[in-house]
Homo-oligomer: A and B are copies of this chain.
Amino acid sequence: MAKNITNPEKDYARWYQDVIREAELADSAPVRGCMVIRPYGYSIWENIKASLNASFKKTGHKNAYFPLFIPESFIKREAEHVEGFAPELAIVTHAGGKKLEESLVVRPTSETIINHMFSKWINSYRDLPMLLNQWANVVRWEMRPRAFLRTTEFLWQEGHTAHADEKEAREETLRMLNVYADFARNVAAIPVIPGRKTEREKFAGAVDSYTIEAMMGNGWALQSGTSHYLGTNFARVFETMYLDSSNEQQFVHQTSWGVSTRLVGAVIMAHGDENGLRLPPELAPVQVVIVPIARDETARADVMTVVERIRDDLDKKGIRVEVDDREGMSPGFKFNHWEVRGVPLRLEIGPRDLEEGHVMASQRNRPGRDSKFTISLDSIVDSIPGILERIQSEMFEEAIQKRDSRTYTAENLDDFREAIVSKPGFYNVWWDGDTEDEARLQKETKATVRCIPLEQREGTGKCFMTGRETNTRVIIARAY
């Protein structure tokens, strides 16, 4: 067990904080609920951004930038929207040495201001679809902040699109949900469950909200990305209209979708273990760390020649590699340093390895002895991409197994009430409840309906709360 890291079995919340501190991912800021993202944590976010940004461009979206400040009156135009966001707003009342005539809201999300602009830019069906995205900071005043998961200010992307009709907008909503699900699975190695949100859990202002739900190491759920079909709700209040091909004015149908720095929290909690972070190679700021080991200067020179050659060759292949040649620190100290930071592959190279023509390797994702193997010096540079792919897929497989082993069902509320405490996890249950049932469920068990999975089994069964026959199953869990 790593020094300074609480056993996650004992106290998961503390383990999470310990990992963030020891891996230097983030630090708390002087303003309550705000966070400083340190270079190592920010670098994970940069890798998340790069991957998603490429997917957004491939699906035809362009980046733009909309203002941080939104006139307070804008937020109030859409009734559900203001109801949802009013309690979380930060308000600028003074600027330039004066009290402002109209207070400004620091954006909690940008549907309103973007609709204001869309209504200027969209005139005819030829302007559609309009497919924009922005990478930005947003502010939602947070009463119970938790690093990465819930912070007053966070970084995110928000996609905003306008379409000629409902069909196209609904297709876009699901397309972007799939982009998120693919990212989670293939890049973050997290086996998310895509589904629709219930009426109670949907975005303030949406017709339908979709989510990808991930399971964290303690069996809790984390909503890791959302995609909304907004219908014409914002278009109506901002008069975002277009002239269709028969010269009729029509409201646009819209979508919005976002993921945030919360994903860094998802990566920590989906993969981390008692020794700290474990990063999937696709997201790791450092994919391979090389620790040269040499007792004296002569040995050191020989070792460094080989180490630097390997480093340069890996670098040319686009692999993120670092050599830890710091002096005055023991190999053990360095191993621990990179283990806590979740670097997927560690290579140790000493004089004896050179003689024997191989290097010692250690895969961060595997426990104990299973992590160790040797790689022939002759083929090392060619074999590493394959090893990183293997780590990536092993981590995904392990996460699937963990999730499945903690996915249960429940026949009725009484059973569930006990089960969710003794066996926290995802409960896949028959469901025909309404918003009041959901409220009661949460009050009594602290669990919520995470989503109505897009993939549903055949057949019917009895709703575990109401007893009514239904063909719908949902995922219920405790959630962050």
Interface residues of A (CB under 8 A from B): 27, 29-31, 34-39, 42-43, 45-46, 62-71, 74, 86-97, 103-104, 106, 113, 116-117, 120-121, 132, 136-137, 139, 141, 143, 152-153, 155
Contacts and interface: CB of A to CB of B under 8 A. Distances in A.
A43 B134 CA distance: 12
Given A93-B91, A97-B86, A120-B27, A38 B67 contact: no
Contact of A29 (B31, B113, B136): B113
A136 to B, nearest CB: 8
Contacts of A29: 66-67, 113, 117
B143 A71 contact: no
Contacts of A68: 34, 106, 137, 139, 153
Nearest to A73: B30
- Greatest chain B CB density within 10 A among A90, A95, A139 is at A95
Given A68-B139, A89-B96, 18 more contacts: A31-B67, A31-B70, A31-B71, A31-B104, A34-B68, A36-B64, A36-B66, A45-B65, A67-B153, A68-B106, A68-B153, A69-B139, A88-B96, A89-B95, A89-B97, A92-B92, A92-B93, A136-B137
Contacts of A137: 68, 136-137
A71 B27 contact: no
A137 to B, nearest CB: 6
A215 B214 CA distance: 53
Contacts of A74: 30
Nearest to A102: B31
B65 A36 contact: yes
8 contacts: A38-B64, A68-B139, A86-B97, A89-B96, A90-B96, A91-B94, A96-B143, A97-B141
